[in-house]
């Protein structure tokens, strides 16, 4: 086993390829710079939709969303109009650590709550409801608590005071670093995985501080990345030549100009009917509704037999999909098209759960953040968030003993596990 | 009105068929009775299927935290209907102090799931009738009428037989047990319309007192009432025909949803 080496997997949530390269080059992340001088940093695609729950589920299973069954942070189960929140129990493929024989330490992978028995240690990531169900084995809980571990920064603080948010972000990262260190030293493992999620939170609220040197929080923004880099540095210093190091993000990020509300547009054009004055959200969708959308921009036809007040007959599906695609192709806000790409179900999804997949997924144009809440009064709005997800520019870095082949055209986050496995297989030969 | 009756009779016929089919396949079968409206309706159908008798054991999982009304109802009707009632408890966990305060999930897991597992093992039941409905919770959307569980109680939703044209796979291999769901196709409204039609006795918690009633019942510590004026079965039927609020909105497990929603909103999702 030892000649096989160990695998160390570092995730940087939401970090785009371009930003990482720039912060490595400008000295903010010296340890990453050191890494990137050997080995290749690749720009890879996220999942569609480009959202953490979907992307991390694809990363840890190596599967398409229609194979692992996670299509977003929220879902509407068939036969209902009730919002549900898929979690680790809803993941329909096994993560890599349940397929390998070795022992794993898995720290802060999003959408892996509640934890279950596995060979090693598993501390789940966002959204985790409480620490009790986030730590396996349970015997580790008191130790994790003693290190002041918190699953996620309290993002509500950012809506009150950015300083409070940043201080909480820092505390969360420090504690995560301590738990990482503790597990590294005290656990036996063949695979070690840690995901840093504060990066995504920071970029959501303060992307403008990344771009603007005059920004009040310019230093704080880089400070957080430096601190992440220091923990990365402490990890790579402990690697040996036989180990494989993998770093990746789940999606990218860019500047956010405007929120655009997909359901408001569907309503404006007669595809969606509901009374916004009624409480109960999607439960108010009425029987004339042809389509509705779930975050970020997953459009579902209100099919007869699939939803309680479904009215779309099989023969009409194609035409409605056609009409909706056409609507969003030409839909513009302030002279700018809102969509960069529009995908139909069959173009992007394959697997046994394809019936649960959205019929259309929209990818927002540069700066346009597509949303599917039902409460928006306008079709577009300014927002306090300054960063939004991107689909095309996640990153992947792999360093092994042997030369790592470059990634193929169209490589996306669900291909990472397969890529690592083929590296290991190559080593055996 | 005729249409409603036809619909209910069709559901009734199908459920009775499933109940008899399961019984003919498994003599070591038991039924889970939570004393709620669904499993009490199931009990009613079982009694119809076997001409007033209940020819197998009926399990009530008792966490010790059920409402007093539930215990009273159970004891009254267990006796009146001549039920072979087995009260299922995880005494070990209770002795160790597992309770709602030590964590609601763990409490449910130990006092309900574990308790049932122990009893299934002890009496070697091969099949179990449950009154679940497909529309009550998202996780049940993929359920089957005959649904296999492995020895760890895990539901491998990919390893389930198709049930096309009402053809059911009713055989189990030795290491699994089968869950039988005769009410799977019923909705909450169907249940109440049937209760109305058949005049089935129901725990009083479902009827409004001082503007509140329970729409879903379980442990007293984890249920809260919904606002309602419906104090008769007729009024409940009427209320359901107009309501947009989810059935389990008073359940603590669903409060977690509100928490998740808040977290997602603070990050700009939703």
Residue B159: is its pLDDT beyond 90?
no
A295 closest CB neighbour out of B103, B266, B269: B269
pLDDT value at residue B140: 63
Residue B1: is its pLDDT beyond 50?
no
Average pLDDT estimate for B218-242 = 85
Nearest by Cα to A111 from A66, A68, A157: A68
pLDDT value at residue A1: 39
B257 closest CB neighbour out of A79, A85, A385: A85
In B, minimum Cα distance to A388 occurs at: B268
pLDDT value at residue A192: 98
Chain A nearest-CA distance from B247, in A, is: 10
Average pLDDT estimate for B115-135 = 89
pLDDT value at residue A267: 94
Rounded Cα–Cα distance for residues A129 and B26 (Å): 40
A82 closest CB neighbour out of B103, B157, B246: B246
Rounded Cα–Cα distance for residues B264 and A152 (Å): 12
Average pLDDT estimate for B31-58 = 96
pLDDT value at residue B249: 57
Chain A CB contacts of B257 under 8 Å are 83-85
pLDDT value at residue B142: 66
CATH code of the domain made up of A258-382 = 3.30.1360
Structure tokens at B270: 């939703």
Question: What CATH homologous superfamily does A2-254+388-428 map to?
Answer: Alkaline Phosphatase, subunit A (3.40.720.10)
| B162 in contact with chain A, both atoms CB, cutoff 8 A | no
Q: Would you list the domain boundaries of chain A?
A: 2-254+388-428, 258-382
Report DSSP state, residue B93.
H
Whether residue B103 and residue A84 make contact (CB cut-off 8 A), yes or no, is no
Beta-carbon neighbour count of residue A418 at 10 Å?
12
Whether residue A296 is preceded by a cis peptide bond, meaning omega within 30 degrees of 0, is yes
Mutate to test the interface with A, among B108, B138, B252 (most CBs of A within 10 A): B138
A73 closest CB neighbour out of B105, B139, B264: B264
Query: How many Cβ pairs within 8 Å bridge chains A and B?
Result: 76
Instruction: State the pLDDT confidence band at B27, using cuts at 50, 70 and 90.
Output: confident
Average pLDDT estimate for B60-88 = 94
Chain B CB contacts of A83 under 8 Å are 257, 261
Q: What is the mean pLDDT of each run of 10 residues along chain A (429 residues)?
A: 76 98 97 92 97 98 97 90 89 94 96 95 94 93 95 86 93 97 96 98 96 94 98 96 95 96 95 76 88 96 90 96 97 95 97 94 96 83 89 95 84 96 81
pLDDT value at residue B260: 79
| B264 in contact with chain A, both atoms CB, cutoff 8 A | yes
CA-CA-CA-CA torsion sign (B14, B20, B22, B25): negative
Residue B160: is its pLDDT beyond 70?
no
Whether residue B135 and residue A80 make contact (CB cut-off 8 A), yes or no, is yes
Rounded Cα–Cα distance for residues B82 and B74 (Å): 12
In A, minimum Cα distance to B248 occurs at: A82
Pick the CATH number of B2-180 from 1.10.8.350, 3.40.50.620, 3.40.50.11540, 3.40.50.1370: 3.40.50.620
Q: Would you list the domain boundaries of chain B?
A: 2-180, 205-264
Whether residue A78 and residue B135 make contact (CB cut-off 8 A), yes or no, is no
| B139 in contact with chain A, both atoms CB, cutoff 8 A | yes
Range ranked top by mean pLDDT from A396-400, B25-29, B242-246: A396-400
Residue A355 burial (CB < 10 Å; 0-12/13-18/19+)? exposed
Q: Where are the beta strands (DSSP E) in A238-289?
A: 244-248, 252-255, 258-261
Structure tokens at B100: 């709602």
Chain B nearest-CA distance from A285, in A, is: 10
Rounded Cα–Cα distance for residues B71 and B251 (Å): 19
Instruction: State the pLDDT confidence band at B239, using cuts at 50, 70 and 90.
Output: confident
**A50, A54, A60, A63 alpha-carbon torsion, rounded to 10°:** -90
In B, minimum Cα distance to A157 occurs at: B266
Strand ranges of the sheet holding B127-129, from the earlier edge strand across to the other edge: B85-88, B57-61, B29-32, B127-129, B177-180, B146-149
B245 closest CB neighbour out of A126, A132, A280: A280
pLDDT value at residue A264: 93
- Higher pLDDT: A315 or B112? It is A315
Q: What does the H/E/C string look like for A59-108?
A: HHHCCCHHHHCCCCCCECCCCCCCCECCCHHHCCCCCHHHHCCCCEEEEE
pLDDT value at residue A319: 97
| Helix H or strand E encompassing A185 | helix A162-186
3-state class of A342 per DSSP? strand
Complex prediction ipTM: 0.78
Q: Which residues pair with A11 in a beta bridge?
A: A195, A248
Whether residue A75 and residue B138 make contact (CB cut-off 8 A), yes or no, is yes
| Helix H or strand E encompassing B127 | strand B127-129
Whether residue A85 and residue B106 make contact (CB cut-off 8 A), yes or no, is no
Chain A CB contacts of B158 under 8 Å are 92, 352
Residue A118 burial (CB < 10 Å; 0-12/13-18/19+)? middle
**According to DSSP H, which parts of A212-261 are helical?**
218-236
Mutate to test the interface with B, among A77, A78, A88, A113 (most CBs of B within 10 A): A77
> Can you say how many angstroms the Cα of residue A83 is from the centroid of all Cα atoms in its chain?
20
């Amino acid at each position: 086993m030892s000649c096989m080496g160990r695998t160390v997997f570092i995730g940087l949530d939401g970090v785009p390829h371009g930003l990482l390269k720039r912060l490595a080059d400008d000295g903010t992340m010296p340890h990453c710079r050191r890494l990137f001088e050997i080995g290749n940093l690749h720009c890879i695609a996220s999942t569609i939709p480009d959202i953490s729950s979907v992307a991390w589920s694809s990363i840890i299973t190596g599967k398409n969303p229609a194979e692992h069954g996670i299509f977003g942070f929220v879902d509407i189960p068939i036969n209902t109009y009730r919002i549900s929140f898929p979690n680790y129990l809803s993941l329909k493929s096994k993560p890599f650590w349940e397929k390998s024989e070795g022992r794993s330490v898995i720290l802060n992978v999003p959408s892996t709550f509640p934890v279950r028995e596995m060979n090693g240690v598993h501390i789940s990531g966002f959204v985790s409801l409480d620490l009790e169900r986030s730590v396996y084995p349970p015997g580790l809980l008191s130790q994790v608590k003693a290190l002041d571990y918190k699953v996620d920064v309290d993002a509500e603080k950012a809506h009150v005071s950015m300083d409070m948010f940043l201080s909480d972000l820092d505390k969360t990262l420090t504690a995560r670093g301590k738990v990482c260190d503790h597990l590294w030293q005290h656990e036996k493992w063949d695979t070690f995985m840690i995901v840093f999620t504060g990066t995504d939170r920071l970029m959501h609220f303060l992307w403008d501080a990344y771009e603007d040197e005059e920004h009040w929080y310019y230093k704080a923004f880089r400070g957080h990345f430096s601190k992440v880099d220091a923990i990365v540095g402490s990890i790579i210093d402990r690697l040996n030549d036989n180990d494989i190091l993998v770093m990746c993000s789940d999606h990218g990020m860019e500047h956010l100009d405007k929120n655009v509300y997909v359901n408001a547009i569907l309503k404006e054009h007669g595809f969606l009917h509901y009374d916004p004055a009624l409480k109960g959200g999607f439960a108010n969708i009425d029987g004339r509704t042809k389509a509705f959308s779930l975050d970020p921009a997953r459009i579902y036809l209100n099919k007869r037999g699939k939803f309680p007040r479904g009215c779309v007959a099989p023969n009409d599906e194609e035409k409605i999909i056609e009409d909706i695609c056409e609507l969003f192709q030409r839909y513009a806000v302030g002279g700018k098209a809102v969509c960069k790409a529009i995908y139909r179900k069959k173009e992007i999804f394959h697997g046994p759960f394809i019936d649960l997949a959205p019929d259309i997924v929209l990818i927002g144009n540069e700066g346009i953040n597509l949303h599917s809440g039902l409460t928006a009064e306008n079709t577009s709005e300014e927002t306090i968030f300054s960063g939004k997800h991107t689909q095309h520019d996640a990153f992947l870095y792999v360093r092994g003993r042997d030369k790592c082949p470059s990634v193929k055209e169209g490589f996306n986050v669900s291909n990472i596990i397969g890529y690592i496995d083929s590296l290991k297989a190559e080593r055996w030969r | 009105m005729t249409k409603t009756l036809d619909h209910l009779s069709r559901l009734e016929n199908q459920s009775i068929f499933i109940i008899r089919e399961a019984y003919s396949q498994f003599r070591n079968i038991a039924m889970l009775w939570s004393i709620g409206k669904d499993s009490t309706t199931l009990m009613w159908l079982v009694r119809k299927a076997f001409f007033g008798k209940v020819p197998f054991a009926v399990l009530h999982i008792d966490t010790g935290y059920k409402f007093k009304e539930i215990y009273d109802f159970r004891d009254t009707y267990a006796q009146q209907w001549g039920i072979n009632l087995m009260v299922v408890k995880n005494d070990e966990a209770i002795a160790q102090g597992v309770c709602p305060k030590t964590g609601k999930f763990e409490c449910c897991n130990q006092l309900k799931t574990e308790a049932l597992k122990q009893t299934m093992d002890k009496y070697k039941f091969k099949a179990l009738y449950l009154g679940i409905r497909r529309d009550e919770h998202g996780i049940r959307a993929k359920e089957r009428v005959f649904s296999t569980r492995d020895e760890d109680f895990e539901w491998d939703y990919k390893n389930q037989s198709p049930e096309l044209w009402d053809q059911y796979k009713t055989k189990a291999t030795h290491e699994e047990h089968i869950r039988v769901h005769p009410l799977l196709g019923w909705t909450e409204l169907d249940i109440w319309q049937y209760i109305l039609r058949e005049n089935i006795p129901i725990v009083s918690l479902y009827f409004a007192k001082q503007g509140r009633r329970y729409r879903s019942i379980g442990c007293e510590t984890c249920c809260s009432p919904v606002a309602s004026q419906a104090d008769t079965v007729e009024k409940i039927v009427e209320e359901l025909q107009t309501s947009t609020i989810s059935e389990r909105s008073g359940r603590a497990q669903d409060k977690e949803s509100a928490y998740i929603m808040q977290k997602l909103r603070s990050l700009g999702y939703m």
